[in-house]
């Protein structure tokens, strides 16, 4: 397993853990539990961001700029849905 695959696995794990912490935050029954999940979620999101930044710097997570027309279409779609 090479470094890129390891980083991808770490990123996927961080995303999965963030999803679990998000649900824990939303569903928590007490303020203390809510705060614990919220803190863990914040730390996980920071970790995920760091992993992404390192992968992006090495060219391992290429991104593509969206065309303005696509952005406008999506924005209009959701604006229309909100007005209904």
Angle at alpha carbon of residue 53, lines to 48 and 55, rounded to 5°: 95
**Which string of DSSP letters, residue by residue, matches 52-69?**
HHHHHHTTSS---PPPHH
Residues 52-78 have pLDDT tens digits of 999 999 999 988 888 999 989 988 988
Model confidence at 84, pLDDT cuts 50, 70, 90, reads confident
Structural domains counted in the chain = 1
Which of 44, 54, 35, 52 lies closest to 17 in space, CA to CA?
44
Query: Whole domain around residue 57: which residue ranges?
Result: 3-83
CB atoms within 10 A of CB 65: 6
Q: What is the pTM of this model?
A: 0.75
Interatomic CA distance for residues 11 and 71, integer angstroms: 26
Q: Are 18 and 44 in contact (CB under 8 A)?
A: yes
């Amino acid at each position: 397993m090479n470094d890129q695959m390891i980083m991808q696995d770490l990123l996927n794990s961080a995303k999965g853990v963030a999803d679990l912490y998000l649900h824990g935050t939303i569903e928590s029954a007490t303020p203390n539990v809510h705060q614990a999940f919220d803190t863990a979620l914040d730390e996980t999101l920071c970790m995920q961001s760091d992993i992404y930044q390192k992968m992006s710097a090495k060219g391992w997570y290429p991104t593509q700029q969206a065309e303005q027309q696509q952005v406008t279409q999506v924005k209009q779609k959701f604006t229309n849905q909100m007005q209904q």
